[in-house]
Amino acid sequence: MSHQNRWRTLHRRRAGLVALAVLAAAGLLSQPVPAYAAADPGVEPSAVTRTLPPGGTATISKVVHTPAVPPNPDIVFLADTTGSMGSAINNVKTNAGDILTAVSTAQPSAHFAVAEYRDVAVDPPGFTVDQALTGDQTAVQAGIGAWTAGGGGDIAEDGLNALYQLATGAVTFRDGGTRIVVIFGDAVSHDPSNGHTRAQVIAALQAAGVRVVAVNVGAGGLNNGGQIEAVTTATGGVFLNNVPADEVADAILAGIQAIEVTVTHEVECDEPLSLSLTPARRTVTSGDDAPFSETVNVDGDAAGGSYQCEVDFLIDGVSHGYVQTLTVHVPGISVYDLSVNEGAGTASFTVTLSVPAPHPVSVSYATATGTAGAADFTGGAGLITFAPNETLKSITVPIVDDTVNEPSETFKVGLSSPSGAALTDGSAEATIIDNDRDGVFTCQATALDLAGQVTSRANPPHDPCADDSKAMPNNTLNAGLVTVTATGLSAGTDLTPDNQNSAPAVGDKAVSTAQLDSTKITVGGLVTIELGVINSTASATCATGPGGLSPQYAGSSIISSLKINGATVTIGSGPTTIPLVVGSLKLNSTTTTATGVVQRAVVLDTLLTDVVIGEAKAGNSANPCRA
């Protein structure tokens, strides 16, 4: 479409635009309206998610809705104010408010300047800036209102000189904006004009990044010899020809809206993604859509996980926040450890896919012996296939229930050759817990537990007991108004003998110990508790009784010192409960049941939360002292 025909089309667009802009200015619309667009400027879709395998690719269609007025415009209205221009100038004066409102509604950051030119020889100086660049529309309208038609007298004027002056500093343009000079007149310019040739003017405009919109009033000679059209073409501007004097304001707005913008992009992608767009750039009339085809590729060795690309679509090389975020999920396959009682008959390994995949996913598996051999389980191999959108599968391995009194044994399953996904965790271990013993010792030691926040816990499984130790030089925990600061935290568990496959004997035992060098507890501004060295021990020991060997339980704890709100409190080794404004402080508590003992050196019980310090557990599952 020629710029001339586009002016005719945009003449109708302007009528609707001005009406909306007037309503918005009057406060009759709840939201600002775009100058002209079926959709708000930006990229659509702005967020895209795809699930792809390693080595996968996807193509995504997207469109950039360019703004009806180029972004962040600096617009200079440049008028030929010689005597023949009276009607055109009056038309612009009358409609200047509509033009300014329409442009600012589309681009609130718009700034404007006002200038005029005549003939340097006849009406020196021949060029005047009536209003410097500003966002103050009242000042801009005053500058336009200062135009008065007069002077002239010969055919040619000095429009080229005016353009040169604007390109070389007569108006200070902002950085990062769209620089536009709108010139309207009815006469060709001298060439050279005040010493500046057309070629020099074009070079200066290009160097300054200024685009020229030119309106030839009526059948005037603004473009004689193709002069002004050469300027608009060279600067990426617009030339509107044969515009009636009473439609110049329409043509000015239409010309601003008809400026072409170039859409390019900048891409940032996480490893292992790469992204390209076709075409690399598009040039469209401002307000039109720029479609692109986006292709994303995933490296063949990509690990399972979620990755992102950000594509910033630039208008004339400047970012305006037209950002599209692409998220790619690469499915990951994992298999998990398990424990199973020998009498269960089967061990069922859980295999998961981290995200649902729109395509089938498969992986091979095979079992491998460990401390458990062929006599303990039936090995095998095979292929697992996830149908689209499935995320859970299992591998079932038969377990042999023998009568041998033996310790827990292990075997493994391994995954390999994934298709359609990455291998995140390809190995899992099954622990077969022997069911031929009467029971096992249990044990656990915890230095500090604040509302489930645990520091230095030995043998977290508790059942069965195992040798373990945890230590931390210091730690601070917070839960609501409660803060605990401790130093020298340690916890240990010890099983004797380590080889529970041996015959039970007197002195076989499980021992748990928790210790802290110092502890400070504060509850808001109400209570401060300071404790010295804390040591807590619990044990389960095989001893001879009326029915033969059986576990006996013991627990004890020692607190070297205690201060509450700075006052020293004397304590012994026996159980003590101290009431506080925030709850109660329980010291040296021992809880014994039929299957074990729990020793807690300190328990602060408040309505807000609980603090347990120096907890030791020892006990048994069934009777580990009997075969």
* Tens-digit pLDDT profile for residues 346-373: 999 999 999 999 999 999 999 999 999 9
Amino acid at 623: N
Is the residue at 421 inside a domain? yes
Q: Are residues 310 and 458 in the same domain?
A: no
Q: Are residues 299 and 374 in the same domain?
A: no
Q: Are residues 583 and 550 in the same domain?
A: yes
Whole-number Å distance between alpha carbons of 200 and 163 = 10
- Sign (positive or negative) of CA dihedral 161, 164, 166, 168: negative
> What strands, in cross-sheet order, belong to the sheet with 318-330?
47-51, 318-330, 305-315, 260-269, 282-285
| CA angle at 180 for the pair 178 and 184, rounded to the nearest 5° | 165
Q: Which residue has the tokens 């692409």?
A: 326
Whole-number Å distance between alpha carbons of 599 and 331 = 47
CATH number of the CATH domain containing 167:
3.40.50.410
Is the residue at 23 inside a domain? no
The helix (run of H) or strand (run of E) holding residue 101 is helix 86-106
* Tens-digit pLDDT profile for residues 102-146: 999 999 999 999 999 999 988 899 999 999 999 999 999 999 999
What pLDDT does 545 receive?
87
Is the residue at 498 inside a domain? yes
CATH number of the CATH domain containing 62:
2.60.40.10
pTM (predicted TM-score) = 0.61
What pLDDT does 626 receive?
80
Q: Are residues 423 and 381 in the same domain?
A: yes
Question: Is the pLDDT confidence value at 7 over 70?
Answer: no
Whole-number Å distance between alpha carbons of 508 and 476 = 37
Q: Are residues 242 and 272 in the same domain?
A: no
Q: Are residues 181 and 215 in the same domain?
A: yes
Is the residue at 539 inside a domain? yes
Query: Which of 207, 223, 258 finishes a domain?
Result: 258
Q: Are residues 476 and 598 in the same domain?
A: yes
Query: Which of 330, 353, 380 finishes a domain?
Result: 330
Is the residue at 13 inside a domain? no
Q: How many CB atoms are located within 10 Å of the residue 168 CB?
A: 14
Q: Are residues 353 and 310 in the same domain?
A: no
Candidates 560, 564, 555; CA nearest to 619 is 555
Of the given ranges (407-416, 429-438, 605-614), which has the lowest mean pLDDT? 429-438
What pLDDT does 38 receive?
47
What pLDDT does 525 receive?
87
Instruction: Tell me the pLDDT band of 405, cut-offs 50, 70 and 90.
Output: low
Average pLDDT (561-584) is: 94
Whole-number Å distance between alpha carbons of 243 and 201 = 24
Q: Which residue has the tokens 């708000």?
A: 40
The two tokens of residue 74 are 């600096």
Is the residue at 413 inside a domain? yes
Average pLDDT (317-321) is: 91
What pLDDT does 29 receive?
29
Q: Are residues 421 and 443 in the same domain?
A: no
What pLDDT does 546 receive?
87
* Tens-digit pLDDT profile for residues 534-549: 999 999 999 998 888 9
Q: Are residues 507 and 456 in the same domain?
A: yes
Q: Under a CB-based contact definition with an 8 Å cutoff, are residues 414 and 368 in contact?
A: yes
Average pLDDT (22-44) is: 49
What pLDDT does 15 receive?
41
What pLDDT does 11 receive?
44
Is the residue at 230 inside a domain? yes
CATH number of the CATH domain containing 381:
2.60.40.2030
Distance from the first to the final alpha carbon of the chain: 97
Q: Which domain range does residue 353 map to?
A: 332-433
How many distinct structural domains can be found in the chain?
A: 4
Please provide residue 562's backbone torsions phi and psi, each rounded to the nearest 5 degrees. Answer: -150, 130
Is the residue at 291 inside a domain? yes
Q: Under a CB-based contact definition with an 8 Å cutoff, are residues 227 and 235 in contact?
A: no
Q: What is the mean pLDDT of the chain?
A: 91
The helix (run of H) or strand (run of E) holding residue 276 is strand 273-278
What pLDDT does 500 receive?
74
Question: Is the pLDDT confidence value at 17 over 60?
Answer: no
Q: Are residues 197 and 135 in the same domain?
A: yes
- Sign (positive or negative) of CA dihedral 34, 35, 40, 42: negative
Largest CA distance in the chain: 133
Query: Which of 433, 459, 482 finishes a domain?
Result: 433
Q: Are residues 294 and 407 in the same domain?
A: no
Q: Which residue has the tokens 């009498």?
A: 343
Candidates 522, 405, 496, 382; CA nearest to 443 is 496
Question: Is the pLDDT confidence value at 378 over 70?
Answer: yes
